[in-house]
Amino acid sequence: MGWSAGLWWLVAALWVVAAAAAAAEGEVVVGSAPRRHAYASMMYMGTPRDYEFYVATRVMMQSLRRLSADADRVVIASLDVPPLWVQALKDDGVKVVSVENLKNPYERQENFNMRFKLTLNKLYAWSLVSYERVVMLDSDNIFLQNTDELFQCGQFCAVFINPCIFHTGLFVLQPSMNVFKNMLHELSVGRENPDGADQGFLASYFPDLLDQPMFHPPANGTKLQGTYRLPLGYQMDASYYYLKLRWSIPCGPNSVITFPSAPWFKPWYWWSWPVLPLGLSWHEQRRENLGYSSEIPVVLIQAVLYIGVIAVTRLARPTLNKMCYNRRMEKNTMFLLSVLRVVAAWSILAAYTIPFFIIPRTVHPLLGWPLYLLGSFALSSIVINIFLFHPITVLTTWFGFIGALLVMAFPWYLNGFVRALAVFAYAFCCAPLIWASLVKTMSSLQVLIERDAFRLGEPSQNAEFTKLY
């Protein structure tokens, strides 16, 4: 009986081990099965905004994972991308393909912008021949919903944001080494390229896309052949939103937002909101997918420093140097007054500009703006104490900034036109107050010199150079 029980337990143990092994084997097979599709982006070095685009690429790739995209996520990275960035992408589950930068033969064109020098690296997307279809992306895209149906499109598909020129911020392609080699040949012979970037080259390479039919994904999941125009809903220009403060794009699903705006108004900059309302949408995606662990320590250090400056200036209020002169020095006094006015004006300007440039650019707007206001208040307090200005005259601009932010962030405008009128009206009403405060500040400087800082014909041997209040 004992022998039978032992045999039964042995068989049960062997069955459990076999089942576990089979399950593990099944996981390996499933996990190792290559995917047929990929979302791809590119990354290269050599611009002042390399870090910002690195962060933007990570956020976009993380958002694709959050949407359960059934495709690999690939970054085509130039060889000089920092290893730490490459490893961070790999830790995010992104495949990194390292490539050499393609030489741009259009650098000497008259209208060439050097920030587009390496954008031709995008052509490497055609070399990803392990995939049947690739959706090539710029990093300034926000995905609102899954777009895997794009992999059913043909050999090349793109969106026409401009009525006559398709946009290369998102397009579908079928990888092909023959096409890739032909593109390199076209580069070497100097194919016409209006802007010298990937946009102009691809528009020249696919000149007939405007005449092609609109893409509608087949219900049975089959892949189309040929070239197609993508509905505008796959590449919604953010400027369309600002007109009505809502999306009203009838063609295609409203799936992807793009930001082909001025470089310094990309959505990842903290000042992009509330200046551009959609900036907050990008930052919310970053908060959910990536976080702000790299910027928070710098923000905390700056905040503590500014609070310390405010505390010190509340305790000590140094005055202007006490100077003595006789009435025959009036010309020198007028020169000194002019110099002090210039110094005071530049000091006020510096108080409002220095904090702006030292805040981490990609921090969340709800952290960036309070830090800016705290920093400008702290530096303004130094100017107030050094020149003995009335606080209200110097801080009028500070209060004006707060009012402007509230006007722009107001969420219940009927449309973008009304919002623009409100901002214009506020600026129209606020500008005279700021100008008057500046004039009063300069006038108070002259009064200070005449009444306190200078003792006409009364030299004092016990002049104080500083005073604590």
CATH code assigned at 230: 3.90.550.10
Helix, strand or coil for residue 226?
coil
How many Cβ atoms sit within 10 Å of the Cβ of residue 455? 14
Asked whether the predicted pLDDT for residue 286 surpasses 80, the reply is yes
Beta bridge partners of 143: 256
Q: How confident is the model at residue 151 (pLDDT cuts 50, 70, 90)?
A: very high
Q: In this structure, are 284 and 302 located in the same domain?
A: no
8 domain-assigned:
no
* Domain shared by 87 and 179, yes or no: yes
Among 258, 289, 320, the domain-final residue is 289
Is the pLDDT confidence value at 323 over 70?
no
Number of domains composing the chain? 2
In this predicted structure, what is the pLDDT of residue 197?
A: 92
Looking at the structure, tell me whether residues 266 and 140 fall in a common domain.
Answer: yes
pLDDT digits (tens, 9 = 90+) for 392-404: 999 999 999 999 9
329 vs 152 pLDDT, higher one: 152
Token pair recorded at residue 184: 């390199």
Range of the domain at 239: 34-289
Q: What is the mean pLDDT of residues 404-433?
A: 94
One domain, residues 253 and 397: no
What is the percent of the chain where pLDDT is above 90?
63
Establish if 7 belongs to a structural domain. Answer: no
Q: Are residues 279 and 409 in the same domain?
A: no
Is there a single domain that holds both residue 300 and residue 275? no
Answer yes or no: is 81 within a domain.
yes
State pTM to two decimals. 0.83
CA–CA separation, 135 vs 174, rounded Å? 9
Residues 121 and 247 in one domain: yes
Question: Of 264, 289, 314, which residue sits at a domain end?
Answer: 289
Is residue 400 a part of any domain in this protein? yes
**How far from 305 is each of 291, 300, 351, 382, CA to CA, in Å?**
24, 9, 14, 13
User: Is it the case that residue 468 has pLDDT exceeding 90?
Assistant: no
Query: Does residue 381 fall inside a structural domain?
Result: yes
Is pLDDT of 459 > 50? no
Query: Considering 231, 258, 289, which residue would you say is the last residue of a domain?
Result: 289
Question: Looking at the structure, do residues 194 and 244 belong to the same domain, yes or no?
Answer: yes
pLDDT at position 461: 43
The answer to whether residues 282 and 324 belong to one domain is no
- pLDDT for res 401: 95
Domain shared by 109 and 149, yes or no: yes
Residues 241 and 101 in one domain: yes
User: Do 187 and 305 share a domain, yes or no?
Assistant: no
Q: What is the enclosing helix (H) or strand (E) of 95?
A: strand 95-99
Convert the pLDDT of each residue in 111-143 to its tens digit: 888 888 999 999 999 999 999 999 999 999 999
Question: Per-residue confidence at 317, pLDDT binned at 50, 70, 90?
Answer: low
Is there a domain that residue 413 lies in? yes
The answer to whether 150 and 78 are in contact (CB under 8 A) is no
Exposure on the CB side of residue 288, measured as CA atoms within 13 A = 15
